[in-house]
Amino acid sequence: MPFSHAGKAVFYMKNHGSDSLIQVEDLSKAFSRGSDTLQVLQQISLSAGPGELIAIIGPSGCGKSTFFNILAGLLSSDSGSISLNGKKVPHLRGRMAYMQQKDLLLPWRNTLDNAILGMEIQGEHKRLAREQARDLLITFGLEGFGDRYPQELSGGMRQRVALMRTILCKKDILLLDEPFGALDAITRSIMQKWLLKVWGQFEPSILLVTHDVDEALLLADRIYVMTSRPASIKGSLQVELERPRKITKPDMVNCKEYLLELLEDELAVPEP
Amino acid sequence: MKTRFVNTALPVALLGILGLSWEASVHFFKIPSYILPGPWKIVRVMWQRMDLLAAHAVVTLTEIGLGFWLALVVGLTLAVLIHSSRIIERSFLPLIISSQTIPVFAIAPLLILWFGYGIGSKVVMTAIIVFFPIVINTVEGLKAADPDTLALLKILEASPGQVFFKVRVPQSLPFVFSGIKIGVAVSVIGAVIGEWVGAREGLGYLMIHANAQLQVELVFASIFWLSILGMGLYGLVVVLERLLVPWRHGESNK
pLDDT tens digits, B4-25: 888 889 999 999 999 999 999 9
Q: In this model, does residue A56 exceed pLDDT 90?
A: yes
Is residue A119 situated within a structural domain?
no
Overall average pLDDT of the A33-53 stretch: 88
With a CB-CB cutoff of 8 Å, which residues 80-139 of chain A face chain B?
93-94, 96-98, 100, 102, 104, 106-108, 117-118, 120-122
Q: In this model, does residue A18 exceed pLDDT 70?
A: no
Percent of chain A at pLDDT exceeding 90: 29
Overall average pLDDT of the A122-147 stretch: 90
**Number of compact structural domains in chain A:** 1
Is residue A36 situated within a structural domain?
yes
**A255 phi and psi, to 5 degrees?**
-60, -40
A270 pLDDT band (50/70/90 cuts)? low
pLDDT tens digits, B126-149: 999 999 999 999 999 999 989 999
Burial class (CB in 10 A: 0-12, 13-18, 19+), A75: middle
Region for residue A51 given its phi and psi (left: phi exceeds 0; alpha: psi -120 to 50; beta: otherwise)? left
pLDDT attached to residue A17: 45
Is residue A187 situated within a structural domain?
no
Residues in chain B: 254
What is the rounded distance in angstroms from the CA atom of residue A258 to the CA atom of residue A252?
10
Q: In this model, does residue A13 exceed pLDDT 70?
A: no
Q: Is A6 in CB contact (< 8 Å) with chain B?
A: no
Residues of A in contact with B145 (CB under 8 A): none
Supply the mean pLDDT for chain A. Answer: 85
Is residue A235 situated within a structural domain?
yes
- Show contacts of A257-264: CB within 8 Å, 24+ apart: A257/A2, A258/A2, A258/A3, A258/A9, A258/A11, A259/A57, A259/A213, A259/A216, A259/A217, A259/A223, A259/A225, A260/A213, A261/A2, A262/A225, A262/A234, A262/A235, A263/A57, A263/A58, A263/A59, A263/A213, A263/A225
Residue A37, domain extent: 1-48+59-95+212-264
Contact assessment for residue B223 and residue B207, using Cβ atoms and an 8 Å cutoff: yes
Is residue A139 situated within a structural domain?
no
Residues of A in contact with B151 (CB under 8 A): 74
